[in-house]
Every structure is written in structure tokens, then in C-alpha cells.
Structure 1
Amino acid sequence: MTVRVVLADDQTVVRAGFRALLDLTDDLVVAEVADGARAVEAVRTTRPDVVLMDIRMPGVDGLEATRRIAGDRSLDGVRVVMLTTYQVGAYVFEALRHGAAGFLLKGIEPDDLRAAIRTVAEGRGLLDPAVTRRVIEEFARLKAPEAAGAERLAVLTGREREVMAPVAAGLSNEEIGKRLIMSPLTAKTHVSRTMTKLGARDRAPLVVLAYETGLVRPGEH
């Protein structure tokens, strides 16, 4: 399986490092850019499977670029993964709100990078690593539940709300099934229906919404 990747980072050495890792696999880097505006242009031109997007770039930053990509219905198949560090929890949270499928630390191990790219290319969010939950939880502590967000959950059935909690904990369909006593296929069906009703491209927005509405609170898994 060849995954087409766009690298967006204003540091040449970072782009070179990621390209070197990807060149060792079947993954194909179709474009390298140094700012968000060029990232959006490259995505529209090359239609990659995955974008590795730095958050802080000159001009149009990674957050705005992600928002533009996620908001373009013609780019529904493109998944954006943010490249970041531990120190930017708020930015990561906003990136997930804007449609990012997850994030990776720039010091990620090569094997983990390749696995992460394939995970996202298959349409799954990067929500399993514990660091993702720590960042979301830390930022969630600073935000009160939003009433407007809570109203969005009114479209869900009771079972679909139940499913959102383990999704927010980064559990797989199999793990959700075990927790809620259902088959993995049934769990997958509930998750898919929940995403459809809430207009989510993948699981990442469900995690954000679960914390924002108070459906899940920091530390509750």
C-alpha cells in the first residue's frame, strides 16, 4: 500500500528528516512546503492521502491550513496530522477542532511514524497514544462545558452517547465492544452513526466534543 504524503514545515531539516524516513518505505512524498498557504495549494493539486502539518509556520499557520483543508468537501479523503511538541496543548486541541485526524511529536520513532501514517490513511484518527489524551485532558481542564456543544448531542441515541466515552479514551472498536458488551462490528456501527450525525470526518472531533460538552471529564475513562 503506497500512501501519498505532503510535508508542511517551515524548517528544511525537519522536512528532510521525515522525507528520509518515508523514502525507506513504499510511502511517496508528493510535495514539500514551508507554510500553510502552500500546503493547501499542494493538497488541492496532488490530492495526497495524508498531510504532515507543522502548527507554527509563517503566514498561514498549520491551524488555518487544516481548517481550509477540512472545510473543502472536495478534499474529504485527505487526512491532516499535526506535527508538534508537548508544549502546545491548546494548539493541538484547536487543530482537532478544525478537523485534524491527530498529531505526532516531531521526535517520533521511525516505525511509529510509518504505522501512524497508515493508520490515518485508513481513515482512523491518531487517538491511541496516551500523550494525545494527556494533551486533550490538560486543555479540557481549562474549559467549561459548552451549552451549545451539549445541544449537538441531542441528535444521538443513548447508546451512541455511551460509545462516545470510550472513543474519547482512545479505545478500539474491539475494546469498546468488551466495555459495553457488544460485538466489535456493532461498536463500529454505533461509532460510524455517531460520526455521521455529528458531521465528523473521523474520531478526533468526537473526542473534542466529548470533553467540550462535559460528556467525558478529564481523568474519566
Structure 2
Amino acid sequence: MSIFDNIDYTRIPTHTAIIMDGNGRWATNKGLERGEGHREGIRAITRVVEAASKISIKYLTLYAFSTENWKRPIEEVNGLMDLMVYAISQETENLKKNGVKINCIGDMNRLPEYASNALKECIYQTREGEKLTLIIALSYSSKWELTDATRKIANDVTKGDLKIDDISEETISMYLTTRSIPDPDLLIRTGGEQRISNFMLWQCAYAEFYFTDVYWPEFRENDLFDAVIEFQRRERRFGKISE
């Protein structure tokens, strides 16, 4: 029996988010430079995007680079930016051909200009994709996002464009970088850690969490399908009691 036979295609998570963890440890365990782990991680992204499309996941968010990652050694940060630009330039046509639309969330102002320009071009080239929206979280963290949203709300209140009494959960959501994206149904973290590392804290209020020991460079199609099958076994109550 194929793993496909265990998937309920009427209950596919609309939005799956992944914290891609374990690149460095994967490389270290194999006696390789950390950069090799990041390069292998790009190949894993290609596999997972194809797998997500195969089972009709509509939104896939990948946590690629956090605001905290800027604290890493400059050589590693520069290497990650160069790798990202190379991967984007290599994959844009394939993404376009396969109906994948690219979106980005995060503090794009901190990215090097050449990286920001490459992303903007990829977003433009894939703008008509309708099969899957691939959201790359770059220079992103929830604390940054919520702080940024709070400043914008305060500014609009000061200008008289927004009344304090009109601020609701929906209002706050509209000031987040994810305002045009549904909240994640399923959050996957690879690499064995069981925490969400300042990622989509607001949006994941009712997401199902799935933790796996598999390092991101080793994450395969079946690993994604296993997570989806586990998601489908769970009862999502959203604060209500079981029926």
C-alpha cells in the first residue's frame, strides 16, 4: 500500500508552515562544512515544494532566516544570502512553469540590495501562479512583526485613521505581514527540537504542531506526507469541546 492511500484528500491542511532546522548539525555529523548543510537544504526545499503541490497544499511557508540569524558569523550570513540568490535564479522558471507563486514575509529592508532585487524579480515572475503559494520567511520573527504592527496601529490612531475601540483581533491581523495569507493549519519543525523559535506566534494560535527528528537536508516527500497524515488523525477543536 502506498502512503498516498493513507492521505485523506478532503482534509489537506490549506496552509502548512515549516521550521527548517538541522542543516548545520547534518553537515557536522557528516564531517562537512556548515555551508554544505545549507546547500543540501536547498535541495530539500525543491523536494518539499513538489510534494506539497502533489497533494494540493495551497500555502507553504518556510522559515528560512530569522531576525536572530543576523547574529551569526558574517561569513555564514553572506554565504546564505549568496546561496539564496543562486537558488532563486535557478528555480524561478521551474516555479513559474509549475504554477508556484512566491511571496516573502519579514524585514526585507535588512536584506542586501542584490538579494532583495533577486527576490522581487522572482515574486514578479511567478505572480500568476495559482497551484501553490510559497511564502519565504526571511529576516522574520514574530516579535519583530508584532512590534512593527503595534507601531503602525499606534501611528494610525495618532493620525485619527483608527479608533482605539475599533481595534480587534482582525484589526491586528490586518497589520501583520501575513495579512493576505490564511493562518497555518499545520506547523512542522525538523531537526529534533520542540519549540517554535519566535515564528508566527500570533498566526499559529490554533495550528497543529508536528515535530520530527529528521534533519532538514534529509526531509523527503514521505516525511511531509507523514506529518499530514498525523495532522488528519487529530481533532481540531479551536477551544470547543469534542463532539
Q: Same fold (TM over 0.5)?
A: no
TM-score by length of 1: 0.32
Larger Rg: 2
TM-score by length of 2: 0.30
Q: Which is richer in helix?
A: 1
Q: Higher relative CO (CA 8 A, sep ≥ 6), structure 1 or 2?
A: 2
